Every structure is written in structure tokens, then in C-alpha cells.
Amino acid sequence: MSARASDAATPDPAVTLPRIAAEKVLGIPLSVTNYEQTLDWIEAMIATRRRGYVCVSAVHTVMAAQEDRQLRAAVLSADLTVPDGQPLVWALNALGHSLKSRVYGPDLMWKACARAARNGTRFFFYGGRDPEALQTLVSRLEAAHPGLQIAGNYCPPFRALTPEEECEVIDQIERSGAHVVWVGIGVPKQEKWMATMRPRLNTPVLVGVGAAFDFHAGLVPQAPDWMQERGLEWLFRLKQEPRRLWKRYLRYNPAFVVGFVRQYGRHRRARQRRR
């Protein structure tokens, strides 16, 4: 183990891992949490030298997991699956919770960078559409968060890694001494990558954040706040990338509504029987 990695190798017995409840939406256990609780959990994982990974889930992830067994297994094996999409917050609240906001992947990463600049947490970034885009992301984050320690980065090719390349990536991450690997290669690749790599990496936390890399690199615009708050981010993104996204939204959005209406009906009937 490198000297940089070994400085946090001894668990802190004074730190307790926060307990975060989960509620299943269409069979996917979504963490009932907010930004601060999620960031506290990440810090506790680092302090106690535990290993886990976080999925950042929108409606797309929930619905794709209904069809893709490998994706479903990866999500079900995650330590946290935070509600990235506003419709998932509404669904959780309909089931009896009181979340005030979603845990949006780009904002989670941004807030984590702000904390890390203060407390010295080291990050590794795995993803990006190309090496130049990844370097732009790193430069922007370092400029926005003075003191942020970026231990390393790697932009994978648009194909499966060879066994030799996998070993090289693992070695690069391990030697970097990173505490958190942020993974931005999109659903379902990032969830499957984290599930596969989790046993092979000593890095405490892996977090899959999808398009956050492109957003913070300034390559893709984000939806206005009012659209995000009303659950219309999908419409904004569809306008930006219609050829890539129209099938996803046309198929998954109506299916989610129908599926959750059925789940909510069962939930209401169960509540009435308990009265």
C-alpha cells in the first residue's frame, strides 16, 4: 500500500456509520436520505475504512433494472441507492416519507468537492467522454474548490476493458491513495463496473454519478431549476439529445407511472387493513 493510502488505513473507533433507511420503489430499495446524510455516510465509510458503493438512481435506472438482470443485481448490492430523480422523491413521499429534495448526482459531487477541499478527502475520477473532457472537468473542479485533492483520473475507452487494462486501472487507483472514486460512464455501465470492481479495490467508496462529468465540464447544459423541481428535467434533456434519449423516455416514463400507481394502490390497501 502506498504511503498516501496508508495514512487512513487505521479505522477511527470514535466514528459510527450513520444508518440510512430504504424504501422499495418497484423493487428497488431507495435510500431515504438527503445530501448531508449521504456525505456524512461517505465520510464515515472513509474514517472506519469500510468499503461500499453508491448508486445514484433516476427513473431510468429503476426501470432498466426491471429488464437487465446484471444491472438489477448491481443496484441491489449497492450500500446506498439515492433518489436522483424528482419523481422518485414524490414516490417515496407517497409511501409515507418526508423528503424535501432529491439527491441529484451532479449536486452531490459538487457538494462533496466543497467538503473535500476543507477536510482533505482525496478523489479519483473514472469516466468522461474523452481524455480532454476529463481534464477539463478536473481543471474546473480544482479552480472552483481551492485545496481539492484530485489523486488521479482515468478515461476508459468505449469498449470493455481487457483483463490487463483492468489490472492497470486497479493499480492506478490503488497507488493514488484516493478515498472516493467518482464514476461517470452512464447507466448501466457504471453500476456494473462498481459491482465488479468493488471487491478488487481498497478505496473505501465508489459513487456512480452519470452525466455529472459532462455537466461540470461544461459540455452539456443542465435543466433550469424550475424544470428540475417540477420533474421536467427529462424534457430538457430530450430536447438536447433527442436521437439518443427519445426511446428511453417514451418507454420508461409511462411504464414507471403505471407501475408505481399499482404499487401505491397495494400500499393504500395494506394500510387500510392495518387500521
pTM of this prediction exceeds 0.75: yes
Query: Whose grid coordinates read 461517470?
Result: 184
Do the Cβ atoms of 94 and 151 come closer than 8 Å? Answer: no
Cβ neighbours around 26 below 10 Å, total: 18
Cα 67 from chain centroid (whole Å)? 20
At 45 the pLDDT is 97
Output b/e per residue, 55-71; b: 16+ Cβ within 10 A.
bbbbbbbbbbbbebeeb
Note the pLDDT tens digit of each residue in 195-207: 999 999 999 999 9
- Nearest CA among 46, 53, 51 for reference residue 78: 53
Note the pLDDT tens digit of each residue in 79-111: 999 999 999 999 999 999 999 999 999 999 999
The pairing of beta strand 28-31 with beta strand 80-83: unpaired
Q: Is 29 helix (H, G, I), strand (E, B) or coil?
A: strand
Q: Is 182 helix (H, G, I), strand (E, B) or coil?
A: strand
State yes or no: pLDDT of 162 exceeds 60: yes
Q: Is 180 helix (H, G, I), strand (E, B) or coil?
A: strand
What's the average model confidence in pLDDT over 61-75? 98
Cβ neighbours around 33 below 10 Å, total: 21
Q: How deeply is 127 buried, as exposed, middle or buried, from its count of CB atoms within 10 A (0-12, 13-18, 19+)?
A: buried
* 237's grid cell: 434533456
Q: Is 164 helix (H, G, I), strand (E, B) or coil?
A: helix
In percent, the amount of the chain with pLDDT more than 70 equals 97
CA distance linking residue 267 with residue 275, whole number of Å: 13
pLDDT band at 121 (very low <50, low <70, confident <90, very high): very high
- In single-letter form, the type of residue at position 120 comes to G
At 9 the pLDDT is 59
- In single-letter form, the type of residue at position 93 comes to N
Query: What single-letter DSSP state applies at residue 125?
Result: E
Query: Whose grid coordinates read 433527442?
Result: 242
Note the pLDDT tens digit of each residue in 242-256: 888 888 888 999 999
State yes or no: pLDDT of 1 exceeds 50: no
